[in-house]
Amino acid sequence: MNFEIKAKYVSLFYGNKLNNNEVQNFLTQNNIRYIYFGPDEKMLGNGQLNYNFLNPVFQKEKRILYKVNKI
């Protein structure tokens, strides 16, 4: 997957515009196990992530680290 496609997926992901299956496929294909969600990422969407398989494992100030759980 090239940079432009990955950048598009990142924007769609943080904007909550992908369904759970699309996100799971992208995360699995790219071996992504943790998601960082800080001020810059929050500006790409509505300020929160709405994917039910993300579990917050660390939070400090306006930054959250999520672990990706398998569905």
pLDDT tens per residue, range 1-60: 688 988 999 999 999 999 999 999 999 998 999 999 999 999 998 889 989 899 999 999
As beta bridge partners, residue 67 has 34, 55
What are the two backbone dihedrals, phi and then psi, of residue 55, each rounded to the nearest 5 degrees?
-115, 120
How many structural domains does the chain have? 1
Q: What is residue 65's predicted lDDT score, i.e. its pLDDT?
A: 98
Residue 50 structural domain: 3-68
Supply the pLDDT for residue 36: 97
Whether 71 shows a pLDDT value over 70: the answer reads no
Cite the DSSP H helix spans in the chain.
Answer: 3-14, 20-29, 39-42
Q: Report residue 53 as tokens.
A: 């398989």
